[in-house]
Amino acid sequence: MSLDQNALGSIARQLLTDKDGRIASLDRATWAQNIISYEHHEIHAGSHFNICDYDVGLGSGVEIEFIVTTPDTTKLAHLTFSIFSSTGARVDIYEGASGITGGNAVIPRNNNRSSTNTSVMTVVKDPSAITSDGTFAAGYLAGAGRTAGFANRENEYVLKQNETYLLRITTTASSNNVSWCFEWYEHTDKV
C-alpha cells in the first residue's frame, strides 16, 4: 500500500535513529521492523558466554557438578540452560553453596568468537568436596523410561551478585549419555 502525495504531506513522520544518526529500517516486503533480540545483541557485543559439553556411558547416580561464582559487581549474569539425557537425569540448582574445595576450573567460551572479552564469573567443574549445597532454587527432569529428553530453561535466571551457585546433573539410569549447555550474558542495568 502506498499513500498519495496529499496524504504524505499531512502525516507527521519521525525517524528512529541511534546516537550516531543511523536510521532504523523496515523490511521492504513486509514492513516489519528489522530487529534482533536483546540476547542476540549481547552476543554481538561480546558479552554472551557458554559452558557446553557432554559425557557418555555414565552409570546411574553419577553427578556432574558446576560451581558458579558471581562477582560483587553490578554486572549481572542472565542464565539459561538446556540438558539432554538419553536415559534420564535430574537437574538441581542451589544458591549459596559453600565449603567448595578442588575441582577443575572451566573457562567460559565467548559466543562471539571474535571477541576477547572474558566472563566475570568463575566456574569449577566436579569439586572434590562441598560442605553445603545451599538453598534449593529449582529442579528439573531430563528424559526418563524409554525415551531420551531435554530439560530446558529458556526464561533466564538473573543470578545474584557475590553469590555461589551449584548446578548439579544426576543421572537416574545406567548407560546414560548426557549433554549440557549453560548460556548467559553479562549486563549492567542502565538505571
According to the model, what pLDDT value does residue 180 have?
94
CATH for the 48-188 domain, from 3.40.1130, 2.60.40, 2.60.120, 1.25.40? 2.60.120
pLDDT at 140: 84
Q: In the structure grid, which three cell numbers stand for residue 142, read together? A: 531430563
CA 163/CA 70 separation, integer angstroms: 5
Quote the pLDDT of residue 116: 96
Low-confidence ranges of the chain (pLDDT < 70): 1-13, 144-154
pLDDT digits (tens, 9 = 90+) for 63-81: 999 999 999 999 999 999 8
pLDDT value of position 179: 93
Measuring CA to CA, which residue among 40, 58, 49, 51 is closest to residue 175?
58
